[in-house]
């Protein structure tokens, strides 16, 4: 990180002053204080310093992630070169804002991190702010999992707002990302829920009573099939609508024209 590199010379100056104090003259002790104070200030403000620096010098995208996005995310593939740079830049910055907390496995592979991070970047691409400060912890499981909220139900994804946590089963996330027209995109689903909680005052569409009856016209999946894939009942229809707006924009607009217009006003054309 940039801030760590910035601290290094002040640490060396403090060590040099300490050495001179020990081996030459105690009057050099006064020279220990300035580099220590500056180094401490850099440490305290390191998140802001790193963010400032990487906004101007974006971290490089993992080549595998770039390849996967170009192959499996039509939105990314169809972007102009400048907008691809914007997407890459935002993805790298977003990865700096979250903490990964893998369960069962020791780490989350970089390609999976990148694909998960692509979800909020895609969702917020036409907005100024693309981070979610209240949800900076991502927990991953290799398969379906129970949780304190649903201790007896193995499910594929969830958010827990009190701890700022987003949870994914990689076994379910990957098919939804790689083949979103065949499997449900739980990455977009959970980040849609995060978006709604972050921006509760947006003019979201009114979900009518016939929403679930019409949904198979968009993707062929019933409410029961979606609940089976996620592993939870009583799904909120608004995140489901947002997912379908992103994955099936034309078909969604045909079946739910009023909802599509409202979502376009919020997210822009996708």
164-208: per-residue pLDDT in tens?
Answer: 999 999 999 999 999 998 999 999 999 999 999 999 999 999 999
The band of 14, judged by pLDDT with boundaries at 50, 70 and 90, is low
Distance CA 89, CA 102 (A): 24
52 and 67: one domain? no
Single residue among 36, 56, 76 that ends a domain in this structure: 56
73 and 204: one domain? yes
Answer with the residue of higher pLDDT: 19 or 171. 171
13 and 129: one domain? no
Residue closest to 75 by CA, chosen among 38, 29, 34, 123: 123
Residue 102 has pLDDT above 80, yes or no: yes
Q: pLDDT tens digits for 1-13?
A: 554 665 566 567 6
Number of structural domains found in the chain: 2
178 and 213: one domain? yes
29 and 133: one domain? no
Distance CA 4, CA 260 (A): 46
User: What is the structure's pLDDT at 250?
Assistant: 95
Minimum mean pLDDT among 112-116, 154-158, 169-173, 179-183: which range? 179-183
Whether 34 contacts 65, CB under 8 Å:
no
Q: Measure the CA dihedral 139/145/148/149, to 10°.
A: 100
Distance CA 38, CA 7 (A): 8
6 and 106: one domain? no
234 and 170: one domain? yes
Q: What is the value of pTM for the model shown?
A: 0.82
What are the structure tokens assigned to 187, written together?
């990455």
85 and 159: one domain? yes
User: What is the structure's pLDDT at 20?
Assistant: 61
161 and 35: one domain? no
22 and 77: one domain? no
70 and 177: one domain? yes
34 and 119: one domain? no
For residue 36, what are the domain limits?
Answer: 2-56
User: What is the structure's pLDDT at 36?
Assistant: 67
The band of 270, judged by pLDDT with boundaries at 50, 70 and 90, is confident
User: What is the structure's pLDDT at 15?
Assistant: 66
């Amino acid at each position: 990180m940039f801030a760590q590199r910035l601290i290094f010379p002040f640490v060396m100056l403090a060590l040099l002053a300490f050495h001179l104090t020990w081996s030459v003259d105690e009057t050099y002790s006064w020279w220990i204080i300035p580099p220590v104070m500056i180094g401490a200030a850099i440490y305290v403000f390191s998140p802001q310093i790193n963010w400032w620096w990487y906004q101007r010098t974006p971290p490089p995208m993992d080549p595998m992630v770039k390849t996967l996005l170009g192959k499996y995310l039509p939105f990314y593939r169809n972007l102009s070169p400048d907008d691809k740079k914007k997407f890459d830049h935002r993805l790298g910055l977003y990865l700096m804002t979250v903490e990964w907390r893998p369960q069962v496995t020791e780490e989350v592979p970089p390609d999976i991190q990148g694909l998960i991070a692509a979800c909020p970047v895609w969702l917020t691409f036409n907005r100024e702010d693309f981070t979610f400060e209240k949800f900076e912890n991502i927990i991953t499981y290799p398969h379906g999992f129970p949780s304190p909220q649903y201790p007896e139900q193995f499910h594929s994804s969830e958010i827990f707002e009190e701890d700022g946590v987003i949870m994914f089963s990689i076994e379910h996330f990957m098919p939804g990302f790689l083949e979103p027209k065949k499997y449900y995109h739980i990455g977009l689903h959970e980040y849609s829920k995060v978006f709604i909680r972050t921006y509760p005052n947006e003019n979201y569409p009114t979900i009518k009573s016939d929403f679930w009856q019409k949904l198979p016209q968009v993707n062929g999946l019933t409410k029961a099939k979606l609940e089976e894939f996620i592993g939870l009942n009583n799904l909120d229809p608004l995140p489901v609508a947002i997912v379908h707006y992103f994955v099936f924009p034309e078909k969604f607009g045909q079946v739910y024209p009023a909802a599509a217009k409202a979502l376009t006003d919020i997210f822009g054309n996708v």
